[in-house]
Amino acid sequence: MTPEANPADVESIDAIITAAYRLISGKAGEKRDWDRIRSLYAPGAQLIPTTRQAGVPVPDGEMPTALGVEDYMARVADYFEKNGFIETEVARRTEQFGRIAHAFSTYESRHYAVDPEPFMRGINSFQLFNDGKRWWILNLYWQHENPECPIPEKYL
């Protein structure tokens, strides 16, 4: 059962993407509002990191790993408990047709908001749907930047 969303979090494409970043971000040990995070995602939604396989060279060693919302939360809970994780959007390109939208959202990740440089950058690919009442995240698929795959200037 998906918790009821805060209407301000899901009223627009901008609102839902902003909420997604804000809700996963926090200081080490800071409790995340997991129900509010759940409320952004459609039933059956997937979070899909592109992860490196040990010992396999890039790009062949980068493969998507599809996770349900609960699986994602279980995967990151210990990390968030031990580490600060502040993710911010630095650029976005959005396409929309009717009730569907896709956003390429460039992000930077820091352990502390005051860190001068991010420890990681990448692109989040949000697939979104509007049911006539609100926006939903159907899938969130991302890849970290690496030396073999820098973020193109058009996404910065």
Supply the mean pLDDT for the chain: 94
| Structural domain harbouring 124 | 7-147
d(CA 111, CA 120): 10
36 occurs within a structural domain: yes
| pLDDT number for residue 149 | 87
110 occurs within a structural domain: yes
| pLDDT number for residue 129 | 98
Question: The domain spanning residue 78 has which CATH number?
Answer: 3.10.450.50
At 49-103, the pLDDT tens digits run: 998 766 666 666 678 999 999 999 999 999 999 999 999 999 999 999 999 999 9
87 occurs within a structural domain: yes
Residue with tokens 């009223």: 11
Split into its structural domains, the chain has a count of 1
Cβ atoms 39, 135 nearer than 8 A = no
Look up residue 155 and give its DSSP letter: G
DSSP string, 22-67: HHH-B-TTPPP-HHHHHTTEEEEEEEEEEEEPTT--TTTTEEE--E
d(CA 104, CA 95): 9
63 occurs within a structural domain: yes
2 occurs within a structural domain: no
Look up residue 146 and give its DSSP letter: B
Beta pairing, strands 67-68 & 41-52: antiparallel
156 occurs within a structural domain: no
| pLDDT number for residue 111 | 97
pTM of the model as a whole: 0.93
Residue 65 CA, distance from chain mean position: 14
Look at residue 147 and tell me whether its pLDDT is greater than 80: yes
